Amino acid sequence: MTEIVAFVPMRHSSERVPGKNYRPFAGRPLYYYIVETLLNCPQISLVCIDTDSPTIMEDAATQFPSVKLLERPEHLRDGATPMNDVLLNSVAQVPADYYLQTHSTNPLLTSATVSQAITTFLDQSEHDSLFGVTRLQTRFYDAQGQAMNHDPNVLLRTQDLPPVYEENSNLYLFTQKILEERKNRIGSNPLMFAIDRDEAWDIDEEIDFRVAEFLYRDRQSQ
């Protein structure tokens, strides 16, 4: 059986949305949602929280006893520390065939979507890793005002434009070897896994928090 360990890295401090990882979201701490999503995925063998937050360490030990807690070392706690360095420290402590990484800031991501991503990846052999993307069909320009994905002289409907894909930070699947050799979660031949926009909202700023909470409450009312 393939062993998949899921990592959820969380810092105690957050610059743009203070305390966002444990801030109340629809009545409960934000991080509860992604942890429950991962715990409900049958393919995931173990869920790990990597954090420097005493608040999260204490609360998670009580609320999620099956989750493994990894205290982030001091030299990896700065906000400018690359996520790949944090992950290298984590995978060295927990062996697995594959690692799945997501964020507490993806509260709309569902267990069904995570499971589908895992199954899609394991059922193929061409790609060495997977990352979540959001399909976009809109007119893009570069910083010089040059059209990137369309001809301004041919005003196609946006739905007829060739799609582009945004890395949405919702989901990564990789091996320890890829992470160590490339210093990256994304391998040399990754599989892009499209996630619907209503699930792929990533909380980075205050407006993201408000929109995601609205979408979550709307989903629950249906």
pLDDT digit string (tens) for 16-49? 788 999 999 999 999 999 999 999 999 999 999 9
Contact 186, 173 (CB under 8 A): no
Q: What are phi and psi of 221, to 5 degrees?
A: -80, -10
Residue 31's closest CA among 51, 46, 45, 15?
51
Distance CA 71, CA 153 (A): 55
Taken as a whole, the chain contains a residue count of 222
How much is the pLDDT for 211? 96
How much is the pLDDT for 212? 97
What is the tens place of the pLDDT at every residue in 142-186? 899 998 888 888 888 888 888 889 999 999 999 999 999 999 999
Count of structural domains, the chain:
1
How much is the pLDDT for 57? 97
- Domain hosting 203: range is 4-221
The identity of residue 103, as a single letter, is H
Question: Which 3 state secondary structure label does DSSP give 4?
Answer: strand
Whole-Å CA distances, 207 to 1, 39, 53: 42, 28, 24
How much is the pLDDT for 16? 78
**pTM listed for this prediction:** 0.92
The identity of residue 157, as a single letter, is R
Distance CA 209, CA 203 (A): 5
Phi-psi region of 132 (alpha: psi -120 to 50; beta: other; left: phi over 0): beta
Residue 94's closest CA among 48, 27, 160, 157?
48
Q: What are phi and psi of 111, to 5 degrees?
A: -60, -35
Residue 87 has pLDDT above 90, yes or no: yes
Average pLDDT, rounded, for the chain: 94
Mean pLDDT on 123-149:
92
Contact 99, 50 (CB under 8 A): no
- Which CATH number does the domain housing residue 115 bear? 3.90.550.10
Residue 15 has pLDDT above 80, yes or no: no
Give the pair of three-digit tokens for residue 145.
């005002």
Contact 196, 168 (CB under 8 A): no
Residue 180: CA atoms inside 13 Å, Cβ hemisphere, count? Answer: 7
Give the pair of three-digit tokens for residue 209.
């928090």
Contact 166, 133 (CB under 8 A): yes
Contact 212, 203 (CB under 8 A): yes
